[in-house]
Structure 1
Amino acid sequence: MHEDVERCVRAVQSKDARFDGWFFTGVVTTGIYCRPSCPVVPPKPENMRFYPSAAAAQQAGFRACKRCRPDASPGSPQWNERADVVARAMRLIADGIVDREGVPGLASRLGYSTRQIERQLQAELGAGPLALARAQRAQTARLLIETSALPMSDVAFAAGFASIRAFNDTVREVFALTPTELRDRVARGHPASRRAAASAVQPSTEAAVPEVTLALRLPFRAPLFPDNLFGHLAATAVPGVEEWRDGAYRRTLRLPNGYGIVALRPHPDHVQCTLSLTDLRDLTIAISRCRRMLDLDADPVAVDDLLRTDPVLAPLVDKAPGRRVPHTVDAAEFAVRAVLGQQVSTAAARTHAARLVTAHGEQIVDPGGGLTHLFPDPAALADLDPETLAFPKTRRTTLTSLVAALAAGEIDLGVGSDWIEARSQLAELPGVGPWTIETIAMRALGDPDAFIPGDLGVKIAADGLGLPTTPAALTRRAAAWRPWRAYAVQYLWATGDHAINRLPA
Structure 2
Amino acid sequence: MRAVQSKDARFDGWFFTAVITTRIYCRPSCPVVPPKPANMRFYPSAAAAQQAGFRACKRCRPDASPGSPQWNDRADLVARAMRLIADGVVDRDGVPGLAARLGYSTRQIERQLLAELGAGPLALARAQRAQTARVLIETTALPMSEVAFAAGFASIRSFNETVRVVFGLSPTELRNRVARGRPAAAVAAVPGGSGSAAGSTAGSTAGSVATSTGAPLASGTLSLRLPFRAPLCPDNLFGHLAATAVPGVEEWRHGAYRRTLRLPHGPGIVELRPLPDHIGCQLTLTDLRDLSIAISRCRWLLDLDADPVAVDDVLRADPVLTELVDKLPGRRVPRTVDGAEFAVRAVLGQQVSTAAARTHAARLVAAHGEPVNDQGGGLTHLFPEPAALTELDPDALAFPRSRRTTLTTLVANLASGEIDLGVGGDWERTRAQLAALPGFGPWTVETIAMRALGDPDAFVPTDLGIRAAARALGLPTTPRALADHATAWRPWRAYAVQYLWATGTHPINYLPTP
**Deviation sequence 1:80-128 (CA, Å, 0-9, x none):** 0000000000000000000011011111111111111100000000000
Q: Is the 8 A contact 1:148 1:197 kept in 2?
A: yes
Query: How many residues are paired up?
Result: 493
Q: Is the 8 A contact 2:233 2:330 kept in 1?
A: yes
Residues 1:422 and 2:430 are matched in the alignment: yes
Q: Which consecutive unaligned segments of at least 5 residues does structure 1 have?
A: 1-8
Opposite residue 315 of structure 1, the aligned amino acid is: E
Residues 1:276 and 2:276 are matched in the alignment: no
Q: Residue 145 of structure 1 aligns with which residue? A: 137
Q: Is the 8 A contact 1:201 1:209 kept in 2?
A: no
1:401 to partner: Cα distance: 0.6
Among candidates 30, 42, 49, match of residue 38 of structure 1: 30
Question: Matches of 2:206 and 2:493 in 1, distance apart?
Answer: 40
Q: Is the 8 A contact 1:12 1:42 kept in 2?
A: yes
Give runs of aligned pairs for residues 19-418 of structure 1, distance below 5 A.
Answer: 19-189=11-181, 194=206, 196-200=208-212, 211-418=219-426
Question: Matches of 1:143 and 1:194 in 2, distance apart?
Answer: 11
Question: Matches of 1:58 and 1:18 in 2, distance apart?
Answer: 22
**Deviation sequence 1:54-73 (CA, Å, 0-9, x none):** 00000110000111111111
Q: Residue 6 of structure 2 aligns with which residue? A: 14
Question: Matches of 2:141 and 2:350 in 1, distance apart?
Answer: 47
Opposite residue 304 of structure 1, the aligned amino acid is: D
Q: Is the 8 A contact 2:207 2:225 kept in 1?
A: no
Opposite residue 334 of structure 2, the aligned amino acid is: P
1:346 to partner: Cα distance: 0.6
Q: Is the 8 A contact 2:435 2:445 kept in 1?
A: yes
Q: Is the 8 A contact 2:248 2:378 kept in 1?
A: yes
Q: Is the 8 A contact 2:469 2:503 kept in 1?
A: yes
1:246 to partner: Cα distance: 1.1
Q: Is the 8 A contact 1:201 1:212 kept in 2?
A: no
Q: Is the 8 A contact 1:227 1:503 kept in 2?
A: yes
Question: Matches of 1:75 and 1:424 in 2, distance apart?
Answer: 29
SS of equivalent to 1:259 = strand
1:457 to partner: Cα distance: 0.5
**Deviation sequence 1:174-206 (CA, Å, 0-9, x none):** 101010110110121169994523422799xxx
TM-score normalised by length of structure 1: 0.96
SS of equivalent to 1:447 = coil
Q: Is the 8 A contact 1:54 1:71 kept in 2?
A: yes
Residues 1:445 and 2:437 are matched in the alignment: no
Question: Matches of 1:122 and 1:474 in 2, distance apart?
Answer: 41
TM-score normalised by length of structure 2: 0.94
Question: Matches of 1:423 and 1:390 in 2, distance apart?
Answer: 27
Question: Matches of 1:254 and 1:382 in 2, distance apart?
Answer: 18
Question: Matches of 1:328 and 1:354 in 2, distance apart?
Answer: 17
Query: Structure 1's 298 and 84: CA in aligned 2 closer, same or farther, altered over 3 A?
Result: same
1:269 to partner: Cα distance: 1.1
Q: Is the 8 A contact 1:26 1:62 kept in 2?
A: yes
Opposite residue 264 of structure 2, the aligned amino acid is: P
1:323 to partner: Cα distance: 0.2
Question: Matches of 1:343 and 1:202 in 2, distance apart?
Answer: 51
**Deviation sequence 1:15-49 (CA, Å, 0-9, x none):** 10100000000011111000011111111111110
**Deviation sequence 1:378-415 (CA, Å, 0-9, x none):** 01101110011111111111001100110011111111
Q: Is the 8 A contact 1:146 1:195 kept in 2?
A: no
Q: Is the 8 A contact 2:207 2:224 kept in 1?
A: no
Name the Cα RMSD after superposition: 1.5
Find runs of 4+ consecutive structure 1 residues off by over 3 angstroms.
190-195
Q: Is the 8 A contact 2:17 2:25 kept in 1?
A: yes
**Deviation sequence 1:405-429 (CA, Å, 0-9, x none):** 1001111111111000000110111
Q: Is the 8 A contact 1:63 1:173 kept in 2?
A: yes
1:211 to partner: Cα distance: 2.2
**Deviation sequence 1:438-493 (CA, Å, 0-9, x none):** 00000000000000000011010000000011111100010000000000000000
1:153 to partner: Cα distance: 1.1
Question: Matches of 1:102 and 1:304 in 2, distance apart?
Answer: 38
1:150 to partner: Cα distance: 1.2
Question: Matches of 1:318 and 1:194 in 2, distance apart?
Answer: 33
Q: Is the 8 A contact 2:146 2:217 kept in 1?
A: no
Question: Matches of 1:369 and 1:159 in 2, distance apart?
Answer: 28
Question: Matches of 1:181 and 1:130 in 2, distance apart?
Answer: 26
Query: Structure 1's 212 and 99: CA in aligned 2 closer, same or farther, altered over 3 A?
Result: same
Residues 1:495 and 2:507 are matched in the alignment: no
Opposite residue 262 of structure 2, the aligned amino acid is: R
SS of equivalent to 2:209 = coil
Task: State the percentage of identical aligned residues.
Answer: 80
Opposite residue 161 of structure 1, the aligned amino acid is: F
Query: Structure 1's 21 and 209: CA in aligned 2 closer, same or farther, altered over 3 A?
Result: closer
Q: Residue 4 of structure 1 aligns with which residue? A: none
SS of equivalent to 1:260 = strand
Query: Structure 1's 52 and 271: CA in aligned 2 closer, same or farther, altered over 3 A?
Result: same
Among candidates 455, 470, 479, match of residue 463 of structure 2: 455
Question: Matches of 1:58 and 1:368 in 2, distance apart?
Answer: 40
Q: Is the 8 A contact 1:225 1:320 kept in 2?
A: yes
Q: Which consecutive unaligned segments of at least 5 residues does structure 2 have?
A: 188-204
SS of equivalent to 2:319 = coil
Among candidates 476, 487, 510, match of residue 479 of structure 1: 487
Q: Is the 8 A contact 2:217 2:288 kept in 1?
A: no
Opposite residue 149 of structure 2, the aligned amino acid is: F
Q: Is the 8 A contact 1:209 1:365 kept in 2?
A: no
Q: Is the 8 A contact 1:210 1:260 kept in 2?
A: no
Opposite residue 456 of structure 1, the aligned amino acid is: L
Question: Matches of 2:271 and 2:63 in 1, distance apart?
Answer: 23
Q: Is the 8 A contact 1:201 1:210 kept in 2?
A: no
